[in-house]
Amino acid sequence: MTHLVRPDRPPLAGATVIVTRPSASAPAAMRAARRLGAAAVRLPGVGVRAIADRDGALRALTTARDADAWIFTSPAAVRFAFHLLPSLRPRRGAQVFAIGSGTARALRRHALEGRHPEHRQDSTGLLDMADLQSTAGWRIVIIDAPGGRDLLAPALRRRGARVERIGVYERTAPRLDMRHLRALAAARRPWLTLLSSGEALDHLLAALPAALVQRWRAEALIVSSARLAGLAAERGFERIHVARSATMPDLLDAAVEVHARRARR
């Protein structure tokens, strides 16, 4: 991540970065924002919990060991999969993929190397990888949460693969309390919200009081894709900026650019 930084003033000084990632991954993002001079507010847009059918997920993971390829869709997918089955290991020669660099880091903590797209770190970027172009006859397991947008499985089936999705955790509405609301209400402006999930956006719009929603819509929203930008526009946001990817460095880079443009006005 590169920034033009005045020696006496960090690039996000005077701004508040609002982190909407789940509670488990929010602290690292908040530390990164603070290193750039911002105040940081945690406003989780999605909660996560272990899958209700633990036994079914455990059986599926056990029988999937001989798959040709494994795809982990998030750090939470890695965390909950290894919580269910600490001895989880794909067979020798199987390929392991991660949706992005954060998921790859989570896999390395379990001594697995997961290849991931370098530029567009999402399902489309993963499907563009050369190693997933010729998958006819492969057995592929996707480790994720039930529901949500499923771009991977249909595309890989069209390429001739046998695909199995194994849900190891569930996404839930966030549990916001008065501490979250007071922190947001007291946050100094400008606000720079980092957002990489349409589900998180809708959860927060439903959970926040109307007065805070009105204030939030007037502030800058840093989103991870053009699709998400369109969704935010439909929800009434106007100051929407698209980052290069959903990674935290790219989201913060975009926040720095937005803040710098504001300072120049």
Give the CA distances from residue 236 to residues 19, 106, 173, 218, 239, in Å, rounded to whole numbers and listed in that order. Answer: 20, 35, 21, 9, 10
2 within a domain of the structure (yes/no): no
Number of domains in the chain: 2
Q: pTM for the whole thing?
A: 0.83
162's enclosing H/E stretch is strand 162-167
Residues 35 and 114 in one domain: no
Residue 25 has pLDDT above 90, yes or no: no
For residue 164, being part of any structural domain is answered with: yes
Q: Has residue 3 been placed in a domain? A: no
Full residue range of the structural domain in which residue 124 is found: 49-171
Mean pLDDT for 137-162 is 92
For 33-92, write each residue's pLDDT tens digit. 999 999 999 999 999 999 999 999 999 999 999 999 999 999 999 999 999 999 999 999
Give the model's pLDDT for residue 153: 94
Q: Parallel, antiparallel, or unpaired for β 47-50 and 169-172? A: antiparallel
98 and 59 part of one domain: yes
Residues 6+ apart with CB under 8 A from 127: 151, 152, 155, 156
